[in-house]
Amino acid sequence: MRATRSFCFLGILILTFGLSIMAGFGSADDKPPSFPATYDRPAGNPRKSRSAVVAKHGIVATSEPLAAQVGLDVLQSGGNAVDAAIATNAMLGLVEPMSNGIGGDLFVIYWDSKSKKLYGLNASGRSPYALNREVFAEKELTMIPSQGPLAWSVPGCVDGWHELSERFGTMDLSQVLAPAISCANEGFPVSELISMYWQHAAPTLAEYPDTAQTYLIDGRGPEFGELFKNPNLARSYQLIAEGGRDAFYNGEIAHAIVTYSEANGGYFSLKDFTDHESEWVEPVSTSYRGYDIWELPPNGQGIAALEMLNLLESYNIKEMGHNSAEYLHLFVEAKKLAFADRARYYADPAMAEVPVAGLISKEYAARQRKRIDPNKAAADVPPGDPILQEGDTIYLCVVDKEGNCCSFIQSNYAGFGSMMVPGQVGFVLQNRGALFSLDEEHPNRLEPHKRPFHTIIPAMATKDGEPWLVFGVMGGDMQPQGHVQVLVNMIDFGMDVQSAGDAARVRHTGSAQPTGTPMQEGGGHVHVESTVTDDVVESLKQRGHNVIRGGSSFGGYQAIMINREYGTLSGGTEPRKDGAAVGY
């Protein structure tokens, strides 16, 4: 079966090198903590970085070419969108380990072509039963460290794979994990930007013996093009291939994590793992100029994008012009309002009241819109949490020949998560628990067995009840901002699926955070990419915005558009990444 053969051959090596070189030199947007912003790959080119990929039967788009090729091979071997997504994710956990892996969480929006229905999966993990706010008070900590065992929450990824595969998949996990297992044992060539992240993180990884043994070569990160092996991850994947999700949550892997936790200041117990379960949820939506935009409800931040779209819909953005001062001012002000709500309300709905329907209603948007001054920036905006700015994530999307659509996002949170590999398992544990608040009055406060606020959000857009766009933009609190900008680029300004991602983006930092971070004076900062003109920058400054060229990451975009008129698919991939959209 083609999906089980080795993928670490010369042709894939050439593909990796060729796409990396074609995309340009630089670094990625979802950086490990403190990754220098000056390494960001240029974007916003006046011409497209590449043509959109067009195919008839299926497309896979993600941030690393080897992983995209694995997913495509699964589609060509008869698998469906879920099979390909899991295979791609497993490969990404190997080749882009700073951004994702089975030590993290995942979320999915899935269109099932048979039932003609959207499904949402929340596969995020919960805090340990034994960890509470009193622990931090005793340690005299006023915030949760982003590094180390206090930021751990139970990894939800493997149970998410199980739920997706059981409900919609057509292949066994042993089949879809086989390519990643083979490549982990044989070695893979490290791509350009991923090598740069890896080398930057190496000094911190070296502080933890098991992490260093897993991820470093003679104390350093691998070079661009160097072969890297992870036999420990291959063994963990093999255990899951043979034993399913129970191998992770009830078997050898869970025991290894708990044993490591007990020896290294963690609070995990076996009960945390045996009690873990994912949740199928109903996606929520708003309409924008005739399109229905779908996100998952909290504990994620997807509804912030819906709030922003509701606020912008009444303005004639097309007439203002792409990345004009008028449009960017309204965009930033809408973002400030949505993120103020995000800071106040977004939390685990199982343990807090989250008024989702009200927040994404058109009536609420009409009231909120009155707070926007078209000529002046609002200055009373809380700050962005410094950890939240650095979310490290992968996003992938798949559409198969039957029309099934999978919008799939998975993350360790910050680069290499907590930085801790528990023994010989071959993967780091996420630090998603760092996004809890220690404020006892906050709905997102840390409590035992609770899901933290999440930044990672998959998305989908439908037209006349059928999928039109499967998309995502990873990157901490850039994600809702990226969702809105990409959609406006396509719907208001008529860009195609590749141009919409190539176009220059802006990112506002300085909004309120669900961690309870206090407000920043001056309204935060508006970061703009290089091709936003000097006249626009000056006009934004005259409105009271604090504008900075660069100095931030601008997200990582992947998308597939379904053209029902021609019966074809178009795929776009992020020029700021190593990735690829591939189809057949």
User: Do 197 and 32 touch, CB atoms closer than 8 A?
Assistant: yes
Question: Which pLDDT score, from 0 to 100, does residue 386 have?
Answer: 29
Question: Which pLDDT score, from 0 to 100, does residue 382 have?
Answer: 41
Question: Which pLDDT score, from 0 to 100, does residue 7 have?
Answer: 43
For the chain, which ranges sit under pLDDT 70?
Answer: 1-47, 381-392, 518-521
Question: Which pLDDT score, from 0 to 100, does residue 444 have?
Answer: 94
Question: Which pLDDT score, from 0 to 100, does residue 518 have?
Answer: 53
The angle at the Cα of 481, spanning 513 to 555, to the nearest 5 degrees, equals: 100
Of 275, 251, 254, 236, residue with least CA distance to 449:
275
Q: Supply 243's token pair.
A: 């034993």
Q: To which residue do tokens 């000094």 refer?
A: 203
Q: Extract the runs of DSSP E, i.e. beta strands, from 132-270.
A: 188-189, 227-228
Q: In a 3-state reduction of DSSP, which class is residue 284?
A: strand
Angle between helices 302-312 and 325-345 (to 10 degrees): 140
Sign of CA pseudo-dihedral 168, 170, 172, 178: negative
Of 239, 253, 71, 235, residue with least CA distance to 155:
253
Distance CA 92, CA 90 (A): 5
What are 509's strand-pairing partners? 525
Within 13 Å and on the Cβ side, how many CA atoms surround 26? 20
Judged on CB neighbours under 10 Å (0-12, 13-18, 19+), 313 is middle
Instruction: Name the phi and psi angles at 427, rounded to 5.
Output: -150, 155
C-alpha dist (Å) from residue 21 to 123, 179, 224, 343? 35, 25, 11, 40
The H or E element spanning position 556 is strand 556-563
Question: Which pLDDT score, from 0 to 100, does residue 515 have?
Answer: 78
Neighbour count for residue 47 (Cβ, 10 Å): 7
Which pTM does this prediction carry? 0.90
Distance CA 295, CA 279 (A): 15
Question: Which pLDDT score, from 0 to 100, does residue 25 have?
Answer: 26
Question: Which pLDDT score, from 0 to 100, does residue 31 have?
Answer: 39
- Give yes or no: 393 in active site: yes
**Catalytic hit among 62, 88, 393, 455:** 393
Question: Which pLDDT score, from 0 to 100, does residue 514 have?
Answer: 80
Question: Which pLDDT score, from 0 to 100, does residue 43 have?
Answer: 53
Distance CA 174, CA 155 (A): 20
Question: Which pLDDT score, from 0 to 100, does residue 548 have?
Answer: 94
Distance CA 287, CA 461 (A): 9
Radius of gyration of the chain (CA): 22
> If phi over 0 gives left and psi between -120 and 50 gives alpha, with beta otherwise, what is residue 265?
left
Q: In a 3-state reduction of DSSP, which class is residue 397?
A: strand
Question: Which pLDDT score, from 0 to 100, does residue 551 have?
Answer: 81
C-alpha dist (Å) from residue 308 to 25, 367, 501? 33, 13, 19
User: Do 559 and 397 touch, CB atoms closer than 8 A?
Assistant: yes
